[in-house]
Every structure is written in structure tokens, then in C-alpha cells.
A and B are shown apart, each in its own frame.
Chain A
């Protein structure tokens, strides 16, 4: 079957797509899953870091607050109410522990009256009564108190630590430097959008936040939900890590941009994507190249197979036709014998007749002659047909093809001269001898010469060339005729195929020649010459010994 170009390009497409698909799907799956894994690990790492930071800072803050309270407790243990109510003693103590986190220090009696005070807000605070303030109330009940940050009487944000003596007779109160406290949280703010702050349960900022304002905006309120330990939340590309401290009054929050956390991952992903792209390109390119190579090979072998098949077909066709032709010839020869006998018989009987009594005697005679003539014509066909079934193993001998050509050419020189056809012989002088059947080969030469002359008609040339390579002797008969039409080329060796006028050729010459070459182990090929005209090429193997068949 003849396959066209489109078939092979379809094949190429199919193979390429299949190959690319097969190679890319696993690659893509691996890439995707690793990418997912990286992403997850990256977020995990970030949240771990943030959680640790929150946990750590929570401890630091708790410790700081504890420490402030501890200092007041210590003062209370070391000094008596009488000592502390003395302004000069308090000033000495304050200057001994300052500079520290304390902004001021005051002693307040059970009624909430400032007894003594050291600090920058002396005028605003001394004489103030704290009895009604919630913190005083608290400290009198619990013994100690740490406030939220508030403006208070002095109108500056601050928070206080207060401790009452075990008998609740007096209270030591200190203001904590809020800047110092802010510093503990501020350095947790990372990146451009990162934030870190402390809010109280009401959502009021205890330390400055990038949210701005005094309290947490509505969108941040979700953070205030109560939770144990450290909580991680991912909201709108931000990671919030939070932990309650100071007995659940304050919430420490670190906010970090999720994108920032991804940055390492994204670098990895970009690299990954680049690798994927390069691998894909390599796969696609090599797929196309491999497929092209493969399909070209397939096309080549298909073509070879097609040629081989057509040769095999020709061989088989010739073989079965040979058997058929021989059988046919045999069956036809018997009736032909009878017809010719009957015609002879009539003729013989006519000789005995008296011409005077048989009115059409001459016509009968003529008719008998015609019968004989046409029987002989028919028998010439059947005799040639029988050439198909000949076997020649006994007639092989060493043959010099040059000599053989020289022997054959004189058979046609007369006819060639009449038609002004020159026969040129180009011989390789040292042509090797071949073991073959000279008589059969002569018949082939004669057939080809006659064909060439018929093709030329009048005026022209026939070139006979002999040459040899390592395995074969090659004989070419080329003529200056019109050449062989393409549509005829396939049928030229078929029996009874002829382009000559009816009655002129039997259509068996080339067919028998083909058969003979086949039997001799050679081949006959036909083609048109570039310069015009047909060329028949005979190839015969050089076998030095006659091999038994």
C-alpha cells in the first residue's frame, strides 16, 4: 500500500504528542507536589519562628512586669511606713534605684491620700486622693496591681504598678517608663507591613501599632477571641500570632506578611519553575527529534518493503503465469494438431476430386491453406508460451557476454540497416565469464534488440553496453526511441501485454525474457534514459562454478 506524506506527518504528530505527554505529566506532578511541599514547609517555618518569638517575648514581658512588682515588694520589706513617709528617705531610695524603669514612686495611705512622692509630676499628683480610682480599689483587695496604660491625672500615657502592705494600711505605687516597655515589643515589628503590639481585653492598644489609633479596628477584633497558649491565624495574606499574657488581660500580637514569609519559598519556586521549563523544552525538542528520526526510518523501511513487495508480486505473478501458460499451451496444441490434420486431409481429398465436378474446388483449397496458416500462427504463440516452463539446468556453461552479443547482433543487422538503425557496442574488454545458459540469454538479447528496433521505427541508434562489478555482469540495451510511458512501465513484463499493432507482436518477448533472467538467477530492469529512449538493464551474477539447483 502506498502511504502519502500526510500519513507520516500524522504519525509524527501522534508519536510526538504521546511522547511529550508521557514525559511531561510525571514531571509536572513531581514539580507540583514538591512545590506544594515547599510552600507548606515555608509557612510552617515562618509560623514556628513567629510563635517562638511571641512565646519568648511573652516570657520577657511577664518577667519584666513581675520584676517591677518584685522591686516594690522588696522596698516594702526593707522599709517601714514611717521611714517611707519621710520625703527625703523616699527620694534617697528613688535615686538609689533610678535610673531604671520607674518614672516616679509614691506612698499612699489606706484612705488613698498621697503621703509622699518622688517624680516629675509632683504638683499634679501630691494631694490627689485615689480612694475612688479602680486601681486603688483593686490593690486594696488583691495586694498588688499592674494597670493598663492610661492618661491618668498627668495626661501622659503610662501604666502603674502598685503593691499594698499585707495589712492593707499603705500602698507603694510606681509609674513604669512606657518607652522602655514599648521597646520590648517594637523590635518584633518586621518588614514593611509587619506589626507587633499589645492590646487589652477591650481592644485598646497598650503599645503603639501600625494600625494607628487608640484601639484595634473592627477588622482586627477577631484577635481578641480567648485562646490558650499561642495562636496562629492566616487572614488576608497576613499571619497573626498571638498569646495572652498578664493573666489574660493583655494580648501580645505579632502580625507578619504572609508574602514575606513566602519569599524564600518563592525564590525556590522560581528556580523550580525555571528547571521545569528547561526540562520541558529538552523533552519536547528531543521528542520531536526522536520521533522525526523514527518516522523517517519507518518511512524508509516502508518504501523498501513496498519495492520488495512489488518485486515479489512480479515474481509470483510471473511464476503462476508461467505454469498457466505452459498448461494452456499444452491443451491448445492438441486441438491445433487436429485442426491442421483435418485441413491436410481435406486438401489431400480435394486432390483426388475432378475439378470439373467440384465447382468451388479452388476456394476449398484456399480455405484449407488459410486454416493451416492460422494454425501455424497460433502454434507459434503456444510454442513461445512453452518457453515459460523450460528448465535449463543441464545447459549451463561458461559464457562471455561480449562474444554472445557479437553472435546475436548479426541476426538483426540486415533489418537494422534497412531501417537506418546503428547498433553501437560498448564492451568492457576483460568482462568476467559467467555460468549461464547461452542459448536462453541469446534469446533475451534478440528479444531486446527486436523491441528496441520496433520502438525506434526508422533512424536511430541502439547502444549495447557491458560492464562488471564485484558480483554481477551488467548488460544494458538502450535505444533512441520514444521511451516507455509511465502507465505502461508496470505492465511491460506481463505476458500478452504489447503496445505493438495487433498481429505484430505476441506480447511475450519481454515476459519470457523476464522469466529467463529469473531462472538464470539474474534480473531485468527497465527505465527511461535522461536523454530519451528506453534502457533495459540485465544483471547476471558472476558464479564461477555451476551450482546444482
Chain B
């Protein structure tokens, strides 16, 4: 699995964090984009393809959980990692129930975040591969 194939979207209302994360991930050759709200994230995902979304739970307007629901509705295969300054188990669990890959607690070192993103991407890739193989099997089974 190549990291450089991966596309990551960072969603956080904290601009400094957003810019820094995007900047540093790009420096690590991760294709990466950032938006500051849930609405922007939805718009972006509608137009472009992302593999993993790093999603802040607590945002003004549309919060992380709502955004996650919408993303999963639009593109079920996109993996999301919830990021929270508030280690409430229930918001993490709620995120997981809604299909988030995992949740992380601030402050978290970027390297660890990237590790998680990578795990999420691997899962997604595996998932997609299974879908492809299933498609192939389905195609092969189809009588010509």
C-alpha cells in the first residue's frame, strides 16, 4: 500500500491546527487538503475523492458527528478518524457506531495521527480490494 496514493481531508475549525497539519502531511508526501467546517467538507467530498477524513468532533455549526453521518451517506467507503479535545467515551462510541474508524484525543503527535490514518487507509484499501475481487468473481460467474 503506497501512502502517496492516499488522499486525506482534514476538517477542523482551528485554522492554525488545520494549516500546520496539512503543511506537515504534505511535507511527508501525503496528499492532503483541509477545510474549516462540516459544510465545506461535504462539498469537497461531493466533488473530489478522499480516502481518509480526519474529523474534529466539536465544531460550530455542523459538528463532527453530523458531518460523519453525511459523509458515510455520500461515500460509505471513506474512512473517518474522529479527533476530540474532549475524551468523552460516548462521543467516541457514537462516532464508532456511525462507522468511524477510530477516535483520537488531543493533544496528539502528528506521527501517531498519521499512523492511524495509515491503518484506516489500509482497511479501506482492503475493503475496496475485496469489492473488486467480488466484482471479478461476479463478472467471471456471469455467463458470456
Contacts A333-B85, A386-B86 given; indicate if A341 touches B20 (C-beta within 8 A). Answer: yes
Q: Which residues of B contact A386 (CB under 8 A)?
A: 86-88
Tell me the complex Cα distance, A394–B86, Å: 18
- Nearest CB on B from A335, distance (A): 9
8 pairs of A and B residues whose beta carbons are closest in the complex: A333-B85, A337-B107, A336-B107, A337-B106, A333-B106, A330-B86, A330-B85, A341-B20
A324 to chain B, nearest CB (A): 14
Chain B residues with CB under 8 A of A392: 89
Name the contact of B24 in the complex, choosing from A330, A331, A344 (C-beta under 8 A).
A344
Q: Cβ of A345 and Cβ of B24 under 8 Å apart? A: yes
- Chain B interface (Cβ within 8 Å of chain A)? 14, 16-17, 20-21, 23-24, 27, 58, 85-90, 93, 105-110
Q: How far is the CA of A390 from the CA of B86 in the complex (A)?
A: 10
Contact yes or no, A342 B20, CB < 8 A: yes
B105: which A residues are within 8 A, CB to CB?
333, 383
A368 at the interface (CB under 8 A from B): no
Contact B110 A341 (CB under 8 A): yes
Closest B-chain residue to A339, C-beta based? B107
Query: Is the C-beta of A282 less than 8 angstroms from some C-beta in chain B?
Result: no
Q: Are B89 and A340 in contact (CB under 8 A)?
A: no
Most buried by A among B27, B86, B88: B86
| Contact indicator B86/A336 (Cβ below 8 Å) | no
The complex places the Cα of A341 from the Cα of B107 at a distance, in Å, of 9
Closest-CB distance, B50 to chain A (whole angstroms): 21
Of chain B, the residue at the smallest CB distance from A332 is B85
Whole-angstrom distance between the Cβ of B116 and the nearest chain A Cβ: 15
Taking the complex as formed, is A185 at the interface, i.e. its CB lies under 8 A from any CB of chain B? no
Beyond known contacts A331-B85, A334-B14, A338-B17: 8 more, CB 8 A cutoff: A334-B17, A336-B107, A337-B17, A337-B108, A338-B14, A338-B20, A341-B17, A341-B20
Task: Please name all residues of chain B whose beta carbon is closer than 8 Å to the beta carbon of A326 when the two chains form the complex.
Answer: 86
In the complex formed, the residue of B with least CB distance to A393 is B90
Inter-chain CA distance A336–B16, complex, in Å, is 12
Q: Quick check: A333 and B107 within 8 Å, CB to CB?
A: yes
Taking a contact as CB atoms under 8 Å apart, the answer to whether A391 and B90 are in contact is yes
Measured CA separation A348–B89 after assembly (Å): 33
Q: Any chain B CB within 8 A of the CB of A87?
A: no
Q: Are B90 and A329 in contact (CB under 8 A)?
A: no
A379 within 8 Å of B by Cβ? yes
Would you give the shortest CB distance from A55 to chain B, in whole angstroms? 112
Most central of A337, A339, A383, A394 by chain B CB within 10 Å: A337
Query: What residues on A are CB-neighbors of B14 within 8 Å?
Result: 334, 337-338
Docked Cα-Cα span, A468 to B86, in Å, equals: 37
Interface membership of A375, Cβ < 8 A: yes
User: Please, which residues of chain B bring their CB within 8 A of the CB of A330?
Assistant: 58, 85-86
List 7 contacting pairs A-B, 8 Å CB cutoff, sorted by A: A338-B17, A340-B109, A344-B109, A345-B24, A375-B107, A383-B87, A390-B89
Q: Which residues of A contact B90 (CB under 8 A)?
A: 391
Given A333-B107, A379-B107, verify A341-B87 contact (CB < 8 Å): no
Nearest Cβ on chain B to A346's Cβ, whole angstroms: 11
Contacts of A338 in B (CB 8 A): 14, 16-17, 20
- Asked whether any CB of chain B lies closer than 8 Å to the CB of A438, the reply is no
A391 CA / B90 CA spacing, docked (Å): 8
A101 at the interface (CB under 8 A from B): no
Assess whether A389 is interfacial by the CB under 8 Å rule: yes
Min CB distance B56 to A, Å, is 9
In the bound complex, residues from chain A placing their C-beta under 8 Å from that of B110 are 341, 344
